[in-house]
């Protein structure tokens, strides 16, 4: 198995999960080791994988790695909305060009591909009144990040239809868990409190997200690889919808802090109101069930991990906060 982006948050957790559940699995990780990727995230399994530092846009390198595997799981992507608003160019290069290069290699060597994407490609749901994204939802991305992920999804679908590439796709709700970069919402707030700093809340905090533990996401990906129908898309989501304000107050409670102990900062542009996925296809066809359907249990374990692993997130913290300070957030 070749895992692109396997030193990033979701990818590194996938690598550990795949090795834990598939004894004897031979696994190669390709990662460019940008700021969001870290070999430290793979330290505990370093002796069980082959690690290659390189760019998914490097056609010769990707061709050689794809030729030597049976299955490709494609996590490699630039993924932070705020960064895409500040400078969209790296997102076009990594998410669109990188996916194209990978697809061409997979096509040449007839390899099985799973492409990992986001529910942000569908845009925003109304804040009130229900409704869920489905596999048939219209693409309506709001940010450069979401637009480039939408483009990569459409490339995969086109290569499957035009060239017979054996691909599946998944779009997942917001993930949380260990080894997530401190630029993201939950790790930023958790590490602020652990450092004695006040957490930050965008705008009014009414925006709602569906929160899925990274292990549940990766169990779904492994299941899709084993039993999913080639050419199909599967939505992944725990069903746990929380507003940003309620989520922050839950985190503060679990950290032993008062619920109102945070600062409000300006909202980001085009901030989508609500994301939520209908994961019934995944549940009915493949039998997937989240191990963490209730956010408080999963979040408590995540907080414990950040409390115990400042060696991993500490070096990221100052630079991350400097970038947010420049944005006024």
> Is residue 124 scored above 80 in pLDDT?
yes
Of the listed 31, 55, 78, 120, which one is catalytic? Answer: 120
Tokens of 299: 């979040």
Question: CA–CA separation, 162 vs 158, rounded Å?
Answer: 6
Kindly list the distances between the CA atom of residue 4 and the CA atoms of 92, 157, 186, 244, 254, in Å, as whole numbers in the listed order.
Answer: 17, 19, 24, 30, 34
pLDDT in tens, 156-214: 999 999 999 999 999 998 999 999 999 999 999 999 999 999 999 999 999 999 999 99
Is residue 48 predicted with pLDDT exceeding 90? yes
Q: Which residues pair with 200 in a beta bridge?
A: 263
Instruction: Share the mean pLDDT of the chain.
Output: 95
Burial 161-179 (b: 16+ CB within 10 A, else e): eeeebebbbbbbbbbbbbb
Q: Catalytic annotation on 145?
A: yes
> Which residues pair with residue 72 across a beta bridge?
2, 113
Per-residue tokens: 191: 């590490």
**pTM confidence score:** 0.95
Q: What is the pLDDT of residue 13?
A: 98
Is-catalytic flag, 119? yes
Q: Is the pLDDT of residue 57 over 90?
A: yes
Among the listed residues 16, 74, 68, the one whose alpha carbon sits nearest the alpha carbon of residue 47 = 16
**Residue 328: what pLDDT?**
79
110, 80, 107: which is closest to 94 by C-alpha?
A: 80
The one catalytic residue in 119, 153, 183, 210 is: 119
Q: Are 157 and 119 in contact (CB under 8 A)?
A: no
Report, as an integer, the average pLDDT of 213-236: 98
> Residue 120 catalytic?
yes
Q: Are 64 and 110 in contact (CB under 8 A)?
A: no
Strand pairing category for 241-243 and 208-213: antiparallel
- Note the pLDDT of residue 227: 97
């Amino acid at each position: 198995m070749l895992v692109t982006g396997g030193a990033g948050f979701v990818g590194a957790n996938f690598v550990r999960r795949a090795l834990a559940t598939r004894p004897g699995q031979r696994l190669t990780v390709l990662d460019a080791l940008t700021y969001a990727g870290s070999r430290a995230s793979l330290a505990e399994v370093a002796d069980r994988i082959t690690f290659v530092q390189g760019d998914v846009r490097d056609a010769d390198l990707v061709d050689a790695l794809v030729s030597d595997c049976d299955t490709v799981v494609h996590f490699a992507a630039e993924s932070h909305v705020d960064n895409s608003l500040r400078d969209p160019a790296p997102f076009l290069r990594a998410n669109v060009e990188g996916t194209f290069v990978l697809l061409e290699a997979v096509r040449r060597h007839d390899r099985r591909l799973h492409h990992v994407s986001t529910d942000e490609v569908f845009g925003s749901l109304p804040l009130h009144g229900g409704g869920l994204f489905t596999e048939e939802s219209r693409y309506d991305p709001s940010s450069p990040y979401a637009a480039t992920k939408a483009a990569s999804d459409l490339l995969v679908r086109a290569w499957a239809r035009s060239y017979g590439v054996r691909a599946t796709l998944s779009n997942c709700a917001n993930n949380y868990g260990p080894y997530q970069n401190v630029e993201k919402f939950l790790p930023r707030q958790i590490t602020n409190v652990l450092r004695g700093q006040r957490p930050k809340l965008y705008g009014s905090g009414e925006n709602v997200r569906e929160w899925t533990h990274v292990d549940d996401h990766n169990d779904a990906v492994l299941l899709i690889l084993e039993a999913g129908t080639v050419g199909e898309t599967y939505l992944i989501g725990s069903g746990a919808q929380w507003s940003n304000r309620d989520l922050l107050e839950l985190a503060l409670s679990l950290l032993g802090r008062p619920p109102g102990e945070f600062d409000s900062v300006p909202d980001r542009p085009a901030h989508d109101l609500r994301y939520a996925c209908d994961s019934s296809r995944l549940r009915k066809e493949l039998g997937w069930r989240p191990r963490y359907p209730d956010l408080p249990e999963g979040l408590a374990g995540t907080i414990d991990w950040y409390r115990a692993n400042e060696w991993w997130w500490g070096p990221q913290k100052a630079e991350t906060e400097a970038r947010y300070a420049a944005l006024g957030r």
